[in-house]
Amino acid sequence: MAITAEYIKDKLTKSVGAIHVEVEDTSANRCSTSFKVLVVSSQFDGKSLLQRHRMVNSCLAEELKEIHAFEQKTLTPEQWEAQKAK
């Protein structure tokens, strides 16, 4: 199965209870080997950055075997609102 930005978005939304997910295919020719994601979830409350990234990586463990580069930003809803207000 081809890994698409939409597939990653759906999986993260369901797995980590994300209220907002942005996924960008950053591959040079959009060949789905490099992605940049922003994930906003209340499940990140009280978690360190490393714990948040591990949650995302666990969710996408199988997919990451096929992805060459994966950049992620993980925020709580409060952090997301503060960032939008800047």
pLDDT value, residue 1: 60
Q: DSSP label at 43? A: G
User: What is the per-residue pLDDT across 56-71, written as a single tens digit (0 to 9) for each?
Assistant: 999 999 999 999 899 9
User: What is the per-residue pLDDT across 68-78, written as a single tens digit (0 to 9) for each?
Assistant: 899 999 999 99
Which stretches of the chain score pLDDT less than 50? none
Burial of residue 65, with CB atoms counted within 10 A of its CB: 0-12 exposed, 13-18 middle, 19 or more buried: exposed
